[in-house]
Amino acid sequence: MKKGKMRLVVKVGSSSLAAPGGGCDPAKMSLLVSAVSRLRDAGHQVVLVSSGAVASGFRRLGYQQRPRTLAAKQAAAAIGQSLLMQTYTELFAAYGCTVAQILLTRGDFSDRERYHHAFQTLSLLLEKNVLPIINENDTVSVAELTFGDNDMLGALVAGLVHADLYLILTDTNGLYDKDPRTHADAVRIPYLPAVTDEVEALAGGASRLGTGGMRSKLIAAKTAQQLGVPSFIGHLAQPSDLLDVLDGSGSGTYVGFRPESPAGHALPTRKQWIALHSPVRGRISVDRGAAEAVLRHRRSLLLAGVRDVDGAFAPGEVIEVYCDGQLIGRGVSRCSAADLRAKLSPAGPARPKGIVIHRDQWTEAACFAAIGGSDRT
């Protein structure tokens, strides 16, 4: 693993923070704060992605268990988020650490300008040695704008800040070949080169106080790996546990790398936005020569290789690219759909010239196909 200072994203779920009956568990939060502070004292930069707003607030609304309706969950989050941040502020202050609250929605990622501003803000906070604490903005989020759970939010944040490692903390110490709660002979899997369909099948459902489960964490780790960020899934029991993860002796499951190997390299921010967050406005089909040029020879996509145009997109908007009916990637088009159709018409130039998608504004389908395909609008 990379030596020296690292940039880390630590995600903690509701089950690892909240008391069984709701509210913040002071002992659990103190343990987390101590462990994160040790990372910072060792010179590492840390971003904390913290669940727990709904779990912390629902009892203040008179509910005996986590509510199910959207309005009740949003109201609980409005109460719980302030309680959560108040506790974090007080606990981290004892270690001389200033914290900053950042609440995000899907819209902050899909809008290119807001995405860029989020990157700049997080970069400045880390440069100034401030600890960003990120959560989804549950109070205003609706189904179409949610991340599904904070495991995925953490993965996307890890890519956004170009993290060296994404640490997913949960109530079990990694993935097992069987459910350890019902099988005494279950064996922990210490290392996964990649998350396959067979691996996902080993995972169970959501925890009682949260929305995620082991399968959610594996999908998040898979997404982070696609963005060039390796992951670790495990349980926090002692303040030194997170440092042990960096030393390669963490009690959990490493995903996408071996502890002794170098860390990955995150995709450039602009390519992450194209691959995972951009609204897709149209599609074009290209011939095999053009597909080979962009996929094998890493060249820009030229107008001469375009065969068909679908949609009504403008210059600067993201489009998908197909070859023989197969999605091969997406990128920012330099041309409008109308211009492309005019140049491809019989009355247009015999062999149209120019670049449709520059190499620097292109991502291959492997970067995004496994987590939901296009966000077409």
Question: From CA 141, how far away is CA 250, in angstroms rounded?
Answer: 35
Q: Is 16 annotated as a binding residue?
A: no
What is d(CA 87, CA 345) in angstroms, rounded to the nearest whole number?
64
> Is 85 marked as binding a ligand?
no
Residue 377, marked binder: no
211 is in an annotated binding site: yes
344 CB burial (10 A radius; 0-12, 13-18, 19+) = middle
DSSP E strand stretches across 236-317: 252-255, 279-286, 301-302, 306-311
Closest C-alpha among 212, 112, 127 to residue 161? 127
**Of the candidates 13, 10, 9, 12, which has an alpha carbon nearest to the alpha carbon of residue 211?**
13
Question: What is the spatial distance between Cα 1 and Cα 164, in angstroms, rounded to a whole number?
Answer: 9
Instruction: For residue 11, say whether it is annotated as part of any ligand binding site.
Output: yes
Indicate the SS3 state at residue 222.
Answer: helix
- Name the phi and psi angles at 284, rounded to 5: -130, 155
Report the C-alpha gap between 263 and 20 in whole angstroms: 36
3-state per-residue secondary structure call for 37-72: HHHHHCCCEEEEEECCHHHHHHHHHCCCCCCCCHHH
From 361, 28, 25, 66, select the one nearest 208 (Cα to Cα): 66
Task: Give 338's contacts (C-beta < 8 A, 6+ positions apart).
Answer: 312
Enter the tokens of residue 185.
């002979």
73: annotated binding-site residue? Answer: no
Task: List C-alpha distances in Å: 27 to 47, 131, 209, 282.
Answer: 21, 20, 17, 51
Could you give phi then psi for residue 134, rounded to 5 degrees? -110, 140
Q: Hunting for tokens 């899907």 — which residue is that? A: 106
150 annotated binding-site participant: yes
- Residue 212 assigned as binding residue: yes
Alpha carbons 47 and 39: distance in angstroms, whole number:
11
Determine if residue 217 is labeled as part of a ligand binding site: yes
Binding-site positions for substrate read 51, 138, 150
Binding-site positions read 11, 51, 138, 150, 170-171, 211-217
Binding-site positions for ATP read 11, 170-171, 211-217
